[in-house]
Amino acid sequence: MAEVTNMLPILSVAGLVKDYRVRRQQGWRHETFRAVDDVSFELPTGGSLAIVGESGSGKTTSARIIVGLERATQGSIRVDGQEWRPTEKVSGRDRRERGGRIQMVFQDPYLSLDRRQTIGSCLDEALRIHTDLERSARAKRVADLLSQVRLDQQIASAHPRQLSGGQRQRVAIARSLAAEPDILVLDEALASLDVSTQAQVLKLLADVRRTTGVAFLFISHDLPIVGQICDSVIVMKDGKVVERGLSVRY
Ligand SMILES: Nc1ncnc2c1ncn2[C@@H]1O[C@H](COP(=O)(O)OP(=O)(O)OP(=O)(O)O)[C@@H](O)[C@H]1O
Protein backbone atom coordinates (compact mmCIF):
# COMPACT_ATOMS: atom_id res chain seq x y z
CA MET A 1 0.00 0.00 0.00
CA ALA A 2 1.20 3.53 -0.74
CA GLU A 3 2.53 5.66 2.08
CA VAL A 4 0.09 7.96 3.85
CA THR A 5 1.44 11.50 3.60
CA ASN A 6 1.50 13.93 6.52
CA MET A 7 1.22 17.03 4.37
CA LEU A 8 -1.58 19.57 4.47
CA PRO A 9 -4.71 18.38 2.69
CA ILE A 10 -4.95 19.34 -0.97
CA LEU A 11 -8.75 18.98 -0.65
CA SER A 12 -10.93 19.64 2.42
CA VAL A 13 -14.67 19.09 2.21
CA ALA A 14 -16.78 20.22 5.18
CA GLY A 15 -20.49 19.91 5.85
CA LEU A 16 -21.41 19.28 2.21
CA VAL A 17 -25.17 19.06 1.61
CA LYS A 18 -27.11 18.58 -1.64
CA ASP A 19 -30.89 18.78 -1.73
CA TYR A 20 -32.86 17.98 -4.88
CA ARG A 21 -36.42 19.09 -5.46
CA VAL A 22 -38.30 16.01 -6.53
CA ARG A 23 -41.91 15.53 -7.50
CA ARG A 24 -43.96 13.39 -5.14
CA GLN A 25 -44.98 10.03 -6.51
CA GLN A 26 -48.61 11.11 -6.52
CA GLY A 27 -49.73 14.58 -7.44
CA TRP A 28 -47.86 17.67 -8.55
CA ARG A 29 -46.33 18.75 -5.24
CA HIS A 30 -42.58 18.78 -4.78
CA GLU A 31 -40.52 17.73 -1.81
CA THR A 32 -36.85 17.90 -0.89
CA PHE A 33 -34.63 14.86 -1.20
CA ARG A 34 -31.26 15.10 0.58
CA ALA A 35 -28.77 13.20 -1.64
CA VAL A 36 -25.66 14.38 0.27
CA ASP A 37 -26.02 14.94 3.99
CA ASP A 38 -23.27 16.71 5.94
CA VAL A 39 -20.31 15.06 4.21
CA SER A 40 -16.82 16.02 5.44
CA PHE A 41 -13.42 14.57 4.57
CA GLU A 42 -9.85 15.48 3.72
CA LEU A 43 -7.62 14.26 0.91
CA PRO A 44 -3.91 14.62 1.73
CA THR A 45 -1.60 16.19 -0.87
CA GLY A 46 -0.46 13.35 -3.14
CA GLY A 47 -2.70 10.94 -1.20
CA SER A 48 -5.51 8.66 -2.28
CA LEU A 49 -8.93 8.41 -0.70
CA ALA A 50 -11.76 6.14 -1.80
CA ILE A 51 -15.45 6.88 -1.44
CA VAL A 52 -17.33 3.61 -1.40
CA GLY A 53 -20.99 2.84 -0.82
CA GLU A 54 -24.01 1.22 -2.33
CA SER A 55 -25.81 2.62 -5.36
CA GLY A 56 -27.59 5.88 -4.60
CA SER A 57 -25.53 6.68 -1.49
CA GLY A 58 -24.41 10.07 -2.86
CA LYS A 59 -20.87 9.33 -4.09
CA THR A 60 -21.23 10.72 -7.62
CA THR A 61 -23.21 13.75 -6.46
CA SER A 62 -20.43 14.62 -4.00
CA ALA A 63 -17.80 14.22 -6.74
CA ARG A 64 -19.75 16.33 -9.23
CA ILE A 65 -20.02 19.13 -6.66
CA ILE A 66 -16.29 18.94 -5.92
CA VAL A 67 -15.34 19.33 -9.60
CA GLY A 68 -17.94 22.09 -10.08
CA LEU A 69 -20.41 20.22 -12.30
CA GLU A 70 -23.15 20.78 -9.71
CA ARG A 71 -23.85 23.32 -7.00
CA ALA A 72 -24.09 22.34 -3.34
CA THR A 73 -26.96 23.40 -1.08
CA GLN A 74 -24.53 23.99 1.81
CA GLY A 75 -20.92 23.34 2.70
CA SER A 76 -17.35 24.31 2.14
CA ILE A 77 -14.68 23.04 -0.25
CA ARG A 78 -11.07 24.14 0.10
CA VAL A 79 -8.44 23.25 -2.47
CA ASP A 80 -4.89 23.87 -1.31
CA GLY A 81 -6.32 26.13 1.40
CA GLN A 82 -8.40 28.22 -1.03
CA GLU A 83 -12.19 28.34 -0.51
CA TRP A 84 -14.15 27.34 -3.64
CA ARG A 85 -17.68 28.30 -2.48
CA PRO A 86 -19.54 25.25 -3.84
CA THR A 87 -22.96 26.86 -3.37
CA GLU A 88 -22.19 29.64 -5.86
CA LYS A 89 -22.23 29.66 -9.65
CA VAL A 90 -18.76 29.25 -11.17
CA SER A 91 -17.63 31.75 -13.84
CA GLY A 92 -16.02 30.50 -17.07
CA ARG A 93 -12.63 31.84 -15.95
CA ASP A 94 -12.82 30.16 -12.54
CA ARG A 95 -13.95 26.93 -14.19
CA ARG A 96 -10.83 26.89 -16.40
CA GLU A 97 -8.60 27.75 -13.45
CA ARG A 98 -10.15 24.99 -11.36
CA GLY A 99 -9.70 22.56 -14.24
CA GLY A 100 -5.96 23.11 -13.80
CA ARG A 101 -6.23 21.85 -10.20
CA ILE A 102 -8.81 19.11 -10.39
CA GLN A 103 -9.88 16.79 -13.20
CA MET A 104 -12.44 14.00 -13.40
CA VAL A 105 -12.33 10.65 -15.21
CA PHE A 106 -15.74 9.06 -15.79
CA GLN A 107 -16.92 5.46 -15.99
CA ASP A 108 -17.62 5.40 -19.71
CA PRO A 109 -14.77 6.89 -21.77
CA TYR A 110 -16.80 6.43 -24.94
CA LEU A 111 -19.29 9.02 -23.74
CA SER A 112 -16.64 11.42 -22.46
CA LEU A 113 -14.58 11.44 -25.69
CA ASP A 114 -15.71 13.29 -28.82
CA ARG A 115 -16.13 10.55 -31.42
CA ARG A 116 -15.40 12.91 -34.36
CA GLN A 117 -12.04 13.97 -32.95
CA THR A 118 -8.78 12.04 -33.32
CA ILE A 119 -7.01 11.17 -30.08
CA GLY A 120 -4.17 13.53 -30.98
CA SER A 121 -6.48 16.51 -31.45
CA CYS A 122 -8.40 15.61 -28.27
CA LEU A 123 -5.16 15.77 -26.24
CA ASP A 124 -4.01 18.89 -28.12
CA GLU A 125 -7.30 20.60 -27.28
CA ALA A 126 -6.86 19.84 -23.56
CA LEU A 127 -3.36 21.33 -23.73
CA ARG A 128 -4.64 24.45 -25.52
CA ILE A 129 -7.23 24.96 -22.77
CA HIS A 130 -4.94 24.35 -19.80
CA THR A 131 -1.45 25.45 -20.90
CA ASP A 132 0.28 28.26 -22.81
CA LEU A 133 2.32 25.83 -24.89
CA GLU A 134 3.00 26.62 -28.57
CA ARG A 135 2.00 24.16 -31.28
CA SER A 136 5.34 22.28 -31.47
CA ALA A 137 5.63 22.02 -27.66
CA ARG A 138 2.04 20.73 -27.55
CA ALA A 139 2.86 18.07 -30.17
CA LYS A 140 5.76 16.91 -28.01
CA ARG A 141 3.56 16.90 -24.90
CA VAL A 142 0.87 14.85 -26.72
CA ALA A 143 3.58 12.26 -27.45
CA ASP A 144 4.69 12.34 -23.78
CA LEU A 145 1.11 11.94 -22.55
CA LEU A 146 0.57 8.92 -24.82
CA SER A 147 3.71 7.26 -23.54
CA GLN A 148 2.80 8.15 -19.94
CA VAL A 149 -0.39 6.09 -20.30
CA ARG A 150 1.53 3.46 -22.32
CA LEU A 151 -0.26 3.94 -25.61
CA ASP A 152 1.40 3.60 -28.99
CA GLN A 153 2.16 6.92 -30.72
CA GLN A 154 0.14 5.82 -33.78
CA ILE A 155 -3.00 6.08 -31.66
CA ALA A 156 -2.79 9.87 -32.08
CA SER A 157 -4.36 9.57 -35.54
CA ALA A 158 -7.11 7.12 -34.45
CA HIS A 159 -10.71 7.90 -33.52
CA PRO A 160 -12.26 6.63 -30.24
CA ARG A 161 -14.32 3.95 -32.07
CA GLN A 162 -11.10 2.32 -33.30
CA LEU A 163 -9.85 1.74 -29.74
CA SER A 164 -10.63 -0.87 -27.09
CA GLY A 165 -12.35 0.13 -23.83
CA GLY A 166 -9.04 -0.01 -21.97
CA GLN A 167 -7.28 2.14 -24.58
CA ARG A 168 -10.11 4.68 -24.46
CA GLN A 169 -9.86 4.89 -20.68
CA ARG A 170 -6.09 5.44 -21.01
CA VAL A 171 -6.85 8.31 -23.41
CA ALA A 172 -9.31 9.79 -20.90
CA ILE A 173 -6.61 9.55 -18.19
CA ALA A 174 -4.03 11.17 -20.52
CA ARG A 175 -6.47 13.98 -21.31
CA SER A 176 -7.03 14.65 -17.61
CA LEU A 177 -3.26 14.67 -17.00
CA ALA A 178 -2.77 17.28 -19.75
CA ALA A 179 -3.95 19.88 -17.24
CA GLU A 180 -1.31 18.72 -14.72
CA PRO A 181 -3.93 18.70 -11.97
CA ASP A 182 -3.28 18.31 -8.23
CA ILE A 183 -6.32 16.06 -7.87
CA LEU A 184 -7.83 13.38 -10.10
CA VAL A 185 -11.41 12.34 -9.33
CA LEU A 186 -11.99 8.86 -10.75
CA ASP A 187 -15.69 7.98 -10.73
CA GLU A 188 -16.06 4.20 -11.27
CA ALA A 189 -13.29 4.68 -13.83
CA LEU A 190 -12.51 0.95 -14.03
CA ALA A 191 -16.07 -0.34 -13.82
CA SER A 192 -16.64 -0.80 -17.55
CA LEU A 193 -13.34 -2.68 -18.13
CA ASP A 194 -12.75 -6.43 -18.05
CA VAL A 195 -10.74 -7.83 -15.13
CA SER A 196 -7.33 -8.06 -16.86
CA THR A 197 -7.68 -4.55 -18.36
CA GLN A 198 -8.71 -3.27 -14.92
CA ALA A 199 -5.48 -4.68 -13.47
CA GLN A 200 -3.38 -2.95 -16.17
CA VAL A 201 -5.12 0.41 -15.72
CA LEU A 202 -4.81 0.09 -11.92
CA LYS A 203 -1.06 -0.39 -12.26
CA LEU A 204 -0.89 2.56 -14.64
CA LEU A 205 -2.78 4.76 -12.15
CA ALA A 206 -0.44 3.75 -9.32
CA ASP A 207 2.56 4.66 -11.51
CA VAL A 208 0.97 7.99 -12.51
CA ARG A 209 0.41 8.87 -8.88
CA ARG A 210 3.97 7.95 -7.94
CA THR A 211 5.57 9.88 -10.80
CA THR A 212 3.35 13.00 -10.85
CA GLY A 213 2.29 13.34 -7.18
CA VAL A 214 -1.36 13.79 -8.23
CA ALA A 215 -3.85 12.93 -5.45
CA PHE A 216 -6.71 10.51 -6.18
CA LEU A 217 -10.32 10.72 -5.06
CA PHE A 218 -11.42 7.29 -6.15
CA ILE A 219 -15.12 6.49 -6.29
CA SER A 220 -16.00 2.83 -6.46
CA HIS A 221 -18.20 0.10 -5.09
CA ASP A 222 -15.42 -2.46 -5.51
CA LEU A 223 -13.48 -2.87 -2.23
CA PRO A 224 -10.72 -5.16 -3.59
CA ILE A 225 -9.88 -2.54 -6.25
CA VAL A 226 -9.97 0.25 -3.66
CA GLY A 227 -7.58 -1.77 -1.44
CA GLN A 228 -5.04 -1.87 -4.26
CA ILE A 229 -4.98 1.83 -5.02
CA CYS A 230 -6.13 3.85 -1.99
CA ASP A 231 -4.58 4.68 1.39
CA SER A 232 -7.88 5.39 3.11
CA VAL A 233 -11.60 4.94 2.62
CA ILE A 234 -14.85 6.57 3.60
CA VAL A 235 -18.11 4.68 3.34
CA MET A 236 -21.30 6.52 2.39
CA LYS A 237 -24.87 5.40 3.02
CA ASP A 238 -28.02 7.42 2.40
CA GLY A 239 -25.96 10.54 1.71
CA LYS A 240 -23.94 10.32 4.96
CA VAL A 241 -20.41 9.20 5.77
CA VAL A 242 -20.99 6.17 8.02
CA GLU A 243 -17.43 4.81 8.31
CA ARG A 244 -13.85 5.99 7.87
CA GLY A 245 -10.60 4.07 7.93
CA LEU A 246 -7.43 2.93 6.26
CA SER A 247 -8.01 0.75 3.23
CA VAL A 248 -7.30 -2.98 3.36
CA ARG A 249 -5.46 -4.88 0.62
CA TYR A 250 -7.42 -8.08 -0.17
N1 LIG B 1 -30.68 15.45 -10.52
C2 LIG B 1 -31.22 14.70 -9.57
N3 LIG B 1 -32.48 14.90 -9.14
C4 LIG B 1 -33.01 14.16 -8.15
N5 LIG B 1 -32.35 13.15 -7.50
C6 LIG B 1 -31.09 12.91 -7.89
C7 LIG B 1 -30.45 13.65 -8.93
N8 LIG B 1 -29.18 13.18 -9.07
C9 LIG B 1 -29.04 12.18 -8.18
N10 LIG B 1 -30.18 12.02 -7.47
C11 LIG B 1 -30.41 11.04 -6.41
O12 LIG B 1 -29.43 11.24 -5.40
C13 LIG B 1 -29.06 9.99 -4.82
C14 LIG B 1 -27.56 9.87 -4.88
O15 LIG B 1 -27.17 9.63 -6.23
P16 LIG B 1 -25.63 9.41 -6.64
O17 LIG B 1 -25.59 9.23 -8.12
O18 LIG B 1 -24.81 10.47 -6.04
O19 LIG B 1 -25.32 8.02 -5.92
P20 LIG B 1 -24.10 7.06 -6.10
O21 LIG B 1 -23.70 6.65 -4.73
O22 LIG B 1 -23.05 7.69 -6.95
O23 LIG B 1 -24.74 5.83 -6.85
P24 LIG B 1 -24.18 4.93 -8.08
O25 LIG B 1 -23.10 4.07 -7.47
O26 LIG B 1 -25.37 4.15 -8.51
O27 LIG B 1 -23.68 5.88 -9.12
C28 LIG B 1 -29.80 8.92 -5.59
O29 LIG B 1 -30.95 8.53 -4.84
C30 LIG B 1 -30.21 9.60 -6.87
O31 LIG B 1 -31.40 9.06 -7.39
Helix (H, G, I), strand (E, B) or coil at 223: helix
Amino acid at 133: L
Helix (H) or strand (E) holding 182: none
Answer yes or no: is the C-beta of 57 below 6 A from any ligand 1 atom.
yes
∠ Cα 195 184 146 (to 5°): 70
pLDDT in tens, 70-87: 999 999 999 999 999 999
For residue range 162-197, what is the model confidence (pLDDT) as tens digits?
999 999 999 999 999 999 999 999 999 999 888 999
Q: Given the CA of residue 58, which atom of ligand 1 is nearest to it? A: 18
Measured from the CA of 219, which atom of ligand 1 is nearest? 22
User: What value does the mean pLDDT of the chain take?
Assistant: 91
Q: Quick check: 3 pLDDT over 60?
A: no
Residue 248: its pLDDT value, please?
A: 76
**34-56 confidence digits (pLDDT tens):** 999 999 999 999 999 999 999 99
The residue whose CA has the least distance to atom 18 of ligand 1 is 58
Contacts for 82 with CB less than 8 Å, ≥ 6 apart: none
User: Is residue 147 a contact partner of residue 154, using CB atoms and an 8 Å limit?
Assistant: no
Say yes or no to pLDDT of 27 above 90: no
C-alpha 187 to ligand 1 mean position (Å): 13
18 close to ligand 1 (CB < 6 Angstrom): no
pLDDT in tens, 194-245: 899 999 999 999 999 999 999 999 999 888 889 889 999 999 999 999 999 8
**Cβ–Cβ under 8 Å, residues 231 and 247:** yes
**Looking at the predicted structure, is the pLDDT value of residue 4 above 90?**
no
Q: Is the pLDDT score of 1 beyond 50?
A: no
Q: Say how many Å lie between the CA of residue 17 and the centre of ligand 1.
A: 13
Q: What is the pTM of this model?
A: 0.91
Rounded Cα distance, 233 and 149, in Å: 26
